[in-house]
Amino acid sequence: MTAQRVDLVCARCYIGFTRFRRAAHRHRGDVELAFLPFQAAPDASAAGEPLFEVHKRGFGEATARHIASDTTLGAADGLELNFRRAVFTHTFDAHRLLAQTAVQGRGEPMTERLFRAYFADGLRLSGRPTLARLAAETGVVTGDTGTDELRAELARVRTLGIDADSIPVFRFRNGIVLRGEQSEETYAAALEENHNDPNGRAFR
């Protein structure tokens, strides 16, 4: 099994997930993926604000350069990253939806849909009606379960030395850990090495 830890408002996570997904589809064995949460900005408001303004506060005069870099990287992987349309918000309810979806075997398409909803469609991922609509699109049943478990996991991640500069994180059963977005070939090589390791161990 491989575990991915991402935040759904992280451009590099979207890129890393997309590349990993392609590598996994090329892989000769089945790839089981666990979906672990991370919140880069747990105190972000539910109402949200334009992502471009958030970047301006964080990067100042370098904002245009950072956005251009991420936009170019995303486009090379066929992704639309629209920083002027995206609405920055907290992702707690989106992560809870993803956890519910993963149990139903639809974690991968739900992850892709949430990323696309945020970066391309400009949807607010803290909005429960929006999340319900995305769940229906993806063919899953949702409810109000999983809140305590998600809070516990988000608290646990703070003890693992993972921060906003680390994600995405892919942890493989044989102990390989890849932090930050990697190339498709790097993910493919890690999957192959993991597949060939008979002594793979559990991840955390």
pLDDT of residue 30: 77
Positions in the chain whose pLDDT score sits under 50: 201-204
In the chain the domains, ranked by start, together with CATH numbers, are 2-196 (3.40.30.10)
What's the pLDDT score for residue 199? 63
What residue ranges in the chain does DSSP mark as E strands? 2-6, 33-37, 49-50, 87-88, 169-172, 177-179
Residue 131 confidence (pLDDT): 97
CA-CA distance, 130 to 116, in Å (whole number)? 13
Q: Are 94 and 126 in contact (CB under 8 A)?
A: yes
Ramachandran class of 120: left when φ > 0, alpha when ψ lies in -120 to 50, beta otherwise: alpha
For tokens 């909005």, what's the residue?
127
pLDDT computed for residue 161 by the predictor: 85
